[in-house]
Amino acid sequence: QRERLRPAGLRRGAALGRVHVERRPAQPRRPAKGCPIDCSSTGERAAITRQSGFSADRKMRSTLLLLAAAAAGAATVEVRFTADFADAVTSTSSTSCRGGAYRAYALAASAGLRIDGGGVAAACGSTTLCAQVFASMGYNGWALNADDIASSSLNTFINTVGSKPVASNYATGNTVSFANLGDAVLLAVSSTSSKTHTYRGAIAVALAEARDAGIDFETTPVILSVNGISDAETQDILGDETASGASDGSAAILKLAAETTDVDLVITTGISGLSDGSVTYIVGEESDKSTNWAGDRVYVASLGASSSVQQIALGFANGVPSSATRTSTSCSSYDTFVDGMIRGTVDTVRIGMLCDSGTAAREECDAGRAAIDAINNKNDGYFDDLLPLTKLEVTVAFFDQGNCGDTNDPSAYVAWTSELTPVSPVAVVGPGGSTCLKSVASVDARSSHGSDALVMSESSTATSISDRSKYPNIVRLSSSERLVMESLSVVTKHYGWKRIAVVYDAADAWASDAARIFSEKLGDAGGTVLGDTCVSSSCRTLSEAGSDLKGVRFDESGGLTASKADDILDALDDADARIVYVAAHPADQSILFERIKQTQKLYGTGYAWLSGWLSEDIFMRNGEVVADAIEGARGLILAKEKAATSGAVRQSFVDQRATSLDDGVCTGALTAGKYCDLDEDPETVGGYGPQVVDTVYTLAKGLDSLGSSSDRQNPDRIYDAVVTAGAYPGFQSFSGTVVLDGIAERQGSLTIMNLQLVTSSRRRLGVPLSSTSAEFVAVGRTVGGQFLLDADVLFPGGTKAVPLDHDPADGDSGRGKVPMGLIYGLVFGLFLPILCCIGVGFYLYRRKKIDKSRKQKATIQQAQDELQAFKESVVNMRVVIEAAAPGGAGATTAPPVAPAKWYWEESVARLQAHAVVKPPHWIPYDDQTSAQLEAARAKASVGGSPVVPLSAAYHADVLQMKQTNTRTGFSRALLRDAPPPPKASSWFGGSRDAAPPPPPLPADIDADERTCLVCDVGAILQLAKQRDDGWAFGSVVMEGEDAGRTDPGYGWNRNQGWFQMEKTDVPTTDQLTKLQESLGGGGTDALATPKYWDDVKDPTVVEYFRLDPRSAATRDEYNRCLDAFMLTLDRSKFRIHSIDRVQNISLWQSYAVKKAATCSREDDPDKAARKYVRAWLFHGCPSDVVPKILQQGFNRSFCGKNATLYGKGVYFARDASYSTFPLYCAPDAQGVQTIFLVRAVVGQWSKGVKDALTPDVRDAARNILYDCTVDNVRDPSIFVTYHDAQAYPEYMIKFSQTTQHTGHPKAGLPAHRLYRPNLVEGIE
């Protein structure tokens, strides 16, 4: 990849997003607003108010749960607790949960925070295995008791476990005062003579430190573990020097709980005055200063947790604890991984990590460490089934990436031999740079250090390393430099740039390689490389540069200096360069762009800069932001590896590591269980961090596929296994799909990025440029040799005007200037007198017309401003430039029939009930179902799932050729009747004239989505999702001029479906004007989202916003949704787990366009909305359909499976009592159901007809149909829509119910007396 000598910490950053121009300020501590105890005392009592900042107006709390599977965000916190076990966790006894494997199994029996209250360290003693077993048991937090603190081997135990225990009143370097468990904070005190604080003082300090660390106690529950209490603590709390014994001790605990208003749950062990298993609470009075003056319940649970796993379910209501239920779990089975560790049957695979020592690179390295820790933890819900009996034992070695080119002591090689050679790893993650990779993985290097370990690089791209005869056993998780340069070459072709200067570092293998490939691509396109000079005293020629590489080059051992950067700019100016490509390390680019700003050479409008290395380090130097470098690089264009942002693997990883992120561990020694996070945003992973995670996951996938321990110790076998795992179609990983070629190199895709100054940012690094953000904006992709624009490119100077590759004064050819003397002579000698005469007359005329002109200009400017605002508001819209339709007007053959017809076997006795029967006993599926089955058959042939869900009650297996009733298990045979292929067919014509067809839909598209969109030239489409292969899914928001209205036939849809991006482009101003006019002129208002929506980070993807009934900001919205849902339900039989607002800007705009078009039938828009719109209707669905609805909306192919009584469309119910029926709203494995509150444009309706594909005709003369069908035209309770943009899923409710259904719910019931068609009228 990048091979220059440079300062430590500089990496090629690809997955970064943006650079914020304001440094994030430290969060101020919340000031104290009251004193929870007697403030007249001195010492620790007075310190409580100063340090903890208790609030007298404590707001309602929003309990965010760890329990994602059991409804994250519900008003219950589940805690699973153990403490004071006398047996070491290495015991194999199942009696009383003594064995660690049995205890681990019981802990994982249900979701919840897992806490140990103490005793493990003392029981384990100095046994290393015991500590390792405890570390693998999946505890979220652990505390110390007095025996632990007294243990002479405590520190050794802690270091082996790898995480620090909570000991709020015992402060040492190996303990912490609190632990952030993600959705609760743990404090812990124990009765020990080695205390550093009293109980009260320890709690005050712990709360203060937690608050300083950013914990918000108004949104995070606090749990306090108390292990025993001494007479001295009792006396201090009660203020009575004579207090002692069990009774006073229990009273002291209750008082401590009452006065500490930020604590919600106190768990006690070893308090004899409190009976085991008791759960009580205290309600204080404001007049009683010794108790909780706020009047909140604080629950105290006394748990005997030394022989079973105790569980507390802490419920919240109105913002404070309202209930606490205790249960216990016995140990009836064991965790196989923990048992394997105890018995020594777990396979240990030693791996190494080579990490750059720079600060920015630490975040990437720690992303890999977090992935390894997650894979090793078999009880965290993240890849628990991956390597079930294998542990990855990692050794991390640091090196200076800037010194890999040193021929004597390359830093990566030195790190390998000093840190990795002693442990003999079978695989090594890193290094990223190609020069560093060469220094450790070449044949010569391996011969020297003696290891044949598999080396997996996250970011190396140099093409020379693809030679496996010279660089064996290497896997690379970034696309090669050739693909990167091909992408930039496509951009230059798009803009017609032929004269381009190339600046590169002649001493760097990657830079030479990249410059050569870029130059070759430019030459192939008929272009010319400008400049051919070395600005250094001499420039070497590396083999990667080839023999005739030109360009402006430098060769500086200490990196580029300001003086040499000025020489580069002078050389570029002499060559009349206006388009410049740079292949250099970020540190060198930083100097160059800084000098561009400071010298104003090649700066601003009229120039364009391209770079081969995208990194935030371009703008960083010595840990500080270089503002001039950002200004000089404004408009920079780069290509970066595409990284997915919404995949399940990514989100699971983000959630798993979120509580362990810390910006304070980005320097110095590694901290077990803590990972660097520079921008304090858990949603982002900096630099090549996503690819590092991909590297770890790919290695684990390969190891997991090997059947024996000996194979997992063999680098050659691991390499083969990785290649096999990554073979097409690959697998989903953190950054998206991983597909490897035959030499284990990633076949990725590239996104074109543009450095812009914007007003919002996601990834922030603090650059002082007022309040804007310097952001790498994704502006397009390269697909099939074309540059597909997704957003405006802003060039230097902030302009959208494309710069020319030559001086505009030279004309298009750059030659043939007209002599200026001749021009001046003609102007002054001949034309000037004539112009003066004309000017006098024109002046008088202009005075007469000036007022009219000004009014016209004002009108035009207003229209332009409105159009610009509308253009900026639209998201993910494309215009069709090449039609796609079945067959074509000029086609000689009829549209082809379906690839095959599918049938199911019926009982002979029931054949007469069917209108169509294929002899002797086969009943046909409809065309849509046949298409689903046919697509599943194609996917199954390449390893996909053969199972197709036909409805809530049936599924089909296309390999076993059976249809099965999921409730009874009864199966029937299937029949596939495939006609012979047509001799000539153009199933997907490139135009109405049947141009050569593009490839068919990719095989991995889900069976229920295999529908192509009829694309008419001029139609504007809105994208719902895009694929890397050039296909996209979207809907028509404005029809083309020649749009047809007939049924397009099998596999086609006029409203929504798949299309090829290369047949579309970014809409022009004129085209958007037409769309704007169709929305009533203003346009922007019609597309505006509801006022109560939140800002989104990325308008191109769906985002969810959890509603909290305890938060003033969302309480009314939550209750509005809850009341609408419960209007026709028995509240006592329903439990709400969560309510999320769904914000999908692209989907919303499709809905808004459809709504505007429908409501335009009325002169009064408010009247139209009341007449034609419903907010809300209900739609229940199985859990597997939920993600599709959230991203694509209500597509009939996967939302219309369960009913056809009123037509073949998408069904919505007026009443939740209908949609919650399990047939429609199937529960998941945990019994949780999902229902959507839907905004719907119902328009004008007709009576539904069974199996009808469309509503009835409303206007026969113009062939206009009704908008939807209903069950009852006078008082509809069921609405069926036929256009996917008619409905928007605004809220998603997760719930469970105890209703005993005795039959199918009835349609056609009268509306509830409190029913309102539009619950958002007046508030949106």
Residue 820's pLDDT is what? 54
pLDDT at 410 over 90: no
Buried b / exposed e over 1109-1126, threshold 16 CB at 10 Å, is: bbbeebbebbebbbebbe
pLDDT for 773 = 64
The per-residue b/e assignment along 1081-1091, b for 16 or more CB within 10 angstroms, e otherwise, is eebbbbbebee
What per-residue confidence (pLDDT) applies to 27? 32
The yes-or-no verdict on residue 1244 having pLDDT over 60 is: yes
Highest mean pLDDT range out of 642-651, 827-836, 1053-1062? 1053-1062
CB 5 within 8 A of CB 507: yes
Is pLDDT of 958 > 60?
Answer: yes
Q: How far is CA 952 from the centre of its chain?
A: 30
On the question of pLDDT at 909 being above 90, the answer is no
pLDDT score at 273: 77
Tens digit of pLDDT for each residue in 745-786? 887 778 888 898 765 444 433 333 333 467 788 888 776 556
Say whether pLDDT at 68 is over 90.
Answer: no
Give the mean pLDDT of 494-512: 91
Pairwise pLDDT comparison (584 vs 865), residue with the higher score: 584
- Helix (H) / strand (E) element for 263: namely none
Q: What is the rounded distance in angstroms from the CA atom of residue 556 to the CA atom of residue 505?
A: 8
1120's torsion region: left (phi>0), alpha (psi -120 to 50) or beta? alpha
Give the DSSP per-residue string, 498-538.
-EEEEEEETT-HHHHHHHHHHHHHHHHTT-EEE-EEE-SS-
Q: Would the pLDDT of 408 be above 60?
A: yes
Q: What count of residues does the chain have?
A: 1324
For residue 783, the model assigns a pLDDT of 61
Identify any residues that bridge with 1288 across adjacent strands, giving them in sequence order: 1239
- How far, in Å, are 118, 138, 222, 279, 302 from residue 266 at the CA level? 15, 22, 9, 10, 8
pLDDT at 282: 58
Closest among 742, 740, 751 to 476, alpha carbons compared: 740
Q: What does the pLDDT average to over 724-743?
A: 85
Higher-pLDDT residue of 485, 11: 485
| Residue 448 backbone dihedrals phi, psi, to 5 degrees | -80, -50
Which of 636, 550, 551 minimizes the C-alpha distance to 592? 636
Count of beta carbons in the 10 Å neighbourhood of residue 169? 27
- Residues 1272-1279: what's their mean pLDDT? 92
Lowest-pLDDT range of 531-545, 728-742, 811-825: 811-825
Average pLDDT in the chain = 79
- Angle, helices 336-343/128-135, rounded to nearest 10 degrees: 170
- Using pLDDT thresholds of 50, 70 and 90, give the confidence band for residue 48: very low
- The count of C-alpha atoms lying within 13 angstroms of the C-alpha of 13, restricted to the half-sphere facing its C-beta, is 28
Q: Comparing C-alpha atoms, which of 1053, 492, 1145, 566 is closest to residue 802?
A: 492
* Cα(539)–Cα(561) distance, integer angstroms: 15
Identify the pLDDT of residue 368: 93
- Mean pLDDT value of segment 426-451: 91
Report whether pLDDT(286) > 50.
Answer: no
Q: Is the pTM of this model over 0.75?
A: no
What amino acid is encoded at 839 in this protein? G
Answer for the pair 483, 748: CB distance below 8 angstroms, yes or no: yes
Q: Which amino acid is at 849?
A: K
Q: Phi/psi of residue 41, each to 5°?
A: -75, 165
- 546 torsion bin: left (phi>0), alpha (psi -120 to 50), beta (else): left
- Name the strand (E) or helix (H) holding 34: none
CA 121 to chain centre: 39
Amino acid at 31: P
Q: For residues 395 and 485, which has the higher predicted lDDT (pLDDT)? A: 395
Task: Check residue 18 and give its pLDDT.
Answer: 33
Strands 661-662 and 637-641, sheet pairing: unpaired
> Does 1280 score more than 60 pLDDT?
yes
CB 433 within 8 A of CB 465: no
User: Does residue 375 surpass a pLDDT of 60?
Assistant: yes
Q: Are 314 and 184 in contact (CB under 8 A)?
A: no
DSSP assigned state of 779: E
pLDDT at 459 over 50: yes
DSSP letters of 702-736?
Answer: HHHT--STTGGG-HHHHHHHHHHHHSTT-EEETTE
Sheet architecture: strand order including 141-142? 141-142, 113-116, 76-82, 309-317, 320-329
What average pLDDT does the segment 293-298 reach? 66
Q: How far apart are CA 271 and CA 288, in angstroms?
A: 25
Per-residue tokens: 898:
């379906």
Percent of the chain whose pLDDT exceeds 90: 30
Residue 1209 has pLDDT above 90, yes or no: no
Range from 219-233, 310-324, 516-530 carrying the lowest mean pLDDT: 310-324
pLDDT, residue 1237, reads 96
CA pair distance 1246, 1265, nearest whole angstrom? 9
Q: How confident is the model at residue 480 (pLDDT cuts 50, 70, 90)?
A: confident
Q: What's the pLDDT at 1178? A: 96
Residue 276 pLDDT level (bands cut at 50, 70, 90): low
Q: What percentage of residues in the chain have a pLDDT greater than 70?
A: 80
User: Residue written as tokens 């009880």?
Assistant: 379
Is residue 914 a contact partner of residue 923, using CB atoms and an 8 Å limit? yes
pLDDT over 70 (residue 441) = yes
- Residue-wise pLDDT for 962-977, tens only, equals 998 876 778 889 998 8
Helices (H), 615-713: 627-633, 648-657, 689-704
Whether 453 shows a pLDDT value over 80: the answer reads yes
Q: How many CB atoms lie within 10 A of CB 110?
A: 16
Most confident of 16-30, 209-223, 1083-1097: 209-223
Residue 527: predicted pLDDT: 93
User: Which has the closest alpha carbon to 1156: 1069, 1259, 1094, 1077?
Assistant: 1077
Our CA angle for 623, 626, 627, nearest 5°, is: 140
**CA-CA distance, 226 to 115, in Å (whole number)?**
12
Q: Give the pLDDT confidence of 1004-1024 residue by residue, as tens digits.
A: 777 667 788 888 888 899 888
pLDDT digits (tens, 9 = 90+) for 114-157: 999 999 999 999 999 999 999 888 898 999 999 999 999 999 99
Residue 610: predicted pLDDT:
95
What mean pLDDT do residues 1190-1207 have?
A: 73
pLDDT of residue 830: 58
Query: Which span out of 202-206, 666-670, 892-896 was modeled with the highest average pLDDT?
Result: 202-206
How high is the pLDDT of residue 64?
31
Task: Indicate whether 42 pLDDT > 90.
Answer: no
**122-128: long-range pairs with CB below 8 Å, 24+:** 122/147, 122/148, 122/150, 122/151, 123/85, 123/86, 123/87, 123/88, 123/89, 124/88, 124/89, 124/90, 124/153, 124/157, 125/88, 125/151, 125/153, 125/157, 126/153, 126/156, 126/157, 127/88, 127/90, 128/160
Distance between CA atoms of residues 398 and 504, nearest Å: 28
Q: Where are the alpha helices (DSSP H) in 874-985?
A: 927-940
**pLDDT higher at 1028 or 426:** 426
Position 248 pLDDT exceeds 60: yes
